[in-house]
Amino acid sequence: MSRAKVAIVGSGNIGTDLMIKVLRLSEVLEMGAMVGIDPDSDGLKRARRLGVATTADGVPGLLAMPEFNDIAVVFDATSASAHRVNAGLLAPHGKVLVDLTPAALGPFVVPTVNLDEHRHRDNVNMVTCGGQATIPIVAAVSAVTPVCYAEIVASIASKSAGPGTRANIDEFTETTSRALEVVGNAHRAKAIIVLNPAEPPLIMRDTVHCLIGDADLDAVRDRILAMVDAVAGYVPGYRLKQDIQFRAVGPADAAHDLVDPSGPRPCWQVSVYLEVEGAAHYLPAYAGNLDIMTSAALRVGEVLATSRKEALA
């Protein structure tokens, strides 16, 4: 079966890493075009060296390229504000959009949680790096028992946070929090991001806390471990940093104040500590925050492209 051609909009770190993954790893997708706005960006220069068609005129330039008609999937690795404009320009052309920004115009998609139910959508959102790392854990817990409250902290190296990430901090926390509820199925949720300036740069770390009621803790642990293995299937550097922890929460615990009184009473705090090491296809291994986004997006793009091809067959 012939591969589906894709375009990547955004020639920064995320877009360039995704391009390398498409070229090296995918048996379903092939590069059709690399799109940027700076002709001297490393991403566009690298694409030209690799024989990929390029434009430095953004999405309008993509629409004018002869390669555009053959494009099946467009990955947007720009910014939340830019994606809103790009989506409007691309909407009349019937392309599948995979949004790697926090714009969230389409439904949130996390491959191990809800990809199958959205495999026929035309515009899907990859949430955030913190969301891709932590939502699977919250979803795993909620599959066993209701999650009254979920709180996640994503700590990434400052050097792996480019201008797009820094400009979207507010969108990161809002989008991740909402996705923890919508996709992770937490009753309430909060997301925090920390840009760590340590030298040498530290690998991405994610902490997940879930408040739950009386539950089978062995079943919760088993479900989390299975989910970690599932995510590691497409993000090899995704792993537990230490054992899963359970802490009893008593009636006088301040954690009770975080839960809607109408919801189930919390009895346990489940804490999961994760590390995400990048595959270093383009960026250093410490940039796991970028690697998990591009790895997840690649998996989503492959499934959506396959579904579109099957529907047209």
Is 250 exposed, middle or buried, given 0-12, 13-18 or 19+ CB atoms closer than 10 A? exposed
Identity of residue 193: I
pLDDT band at 271 (very low <50, low <70, confident <90, very high): very high
Question: Is 289 labeled as ligand-binding?
Answer: yes
C-alpha–C-alpha distance, residues 27 and 259, integer Å = 46
Q: What is the pTM of this model?
A: 0.94
Is 3.40.50.720 the CATH classification of the domain at 4-126+292-312? Answer: yes
Determine whether the annotation assigns residue 15 to a binding site. Answer: no
Instruction: Report the DSSP beta bridge partners of residue 238.
Output: 276
Q: Which long-range contacts (CB under 8 A, 24 or more apart) does 256-262 make?
A: 258/148, 258/149, 258/151, 258/188, 258/211, 259/148, 259/149, 259/187, 259/188, 259/211, 260/148, 260/187, 260/188
Mean pLDDT, residues 158-187 = 88
297 touches 98 (CB < 8 A): yes
d(CA 245, CA 241): 12
> Can you name the CATH fold of 129-286?
Dihydrodipicolinate Reductase; domain 2 (3.30.360)
Q: In angstroms, rounded to a whole number, what is the distance separating the alpha carbons of residues 114 and 277? A: 23
Residue range 132-157, pLDDT digits in tens: 999 999 999 999 999 999 999 999 99
Percent of the chain's residues with pLDDT above 70: 95
163 is in an annotated binding site: yes
Give the tokens for residue 245: 């922890």
Over 60: is that where the pLDDT of 261 sits?
A: no
Residue 123 marked ligand-binding: no
Q: What pLDDT is stored for residue 254 in this prediction?
A: 65
Taking all residues of the chain, what is their mean pLDDT, rounded to a whole number? 93
**Tens of pLDDT, residues 47-104:** 999 999 999 999 999 999 999 999 999 999 998 899 999 999 999 999 999 999 988 8
Which is catalytic among the residues 129, 148, 210, 267?
Answer: 129
* pLDDT value at 264 more than 90: no
Domain segments of the chain as ranges: 4-126+292-312, 129-286
267 is catalytic: no
Determine the Cα–Cα distance for residues 295 and 183; give it in Å rounded to an integer. Answer: 19
Q: Which of the two residues, 102 and 114, has the higher pLDDT score?
A: 114
What is the mean pLDDT of the segment spanning 211-235? 97
- pLDDT, residue 190, reads 96
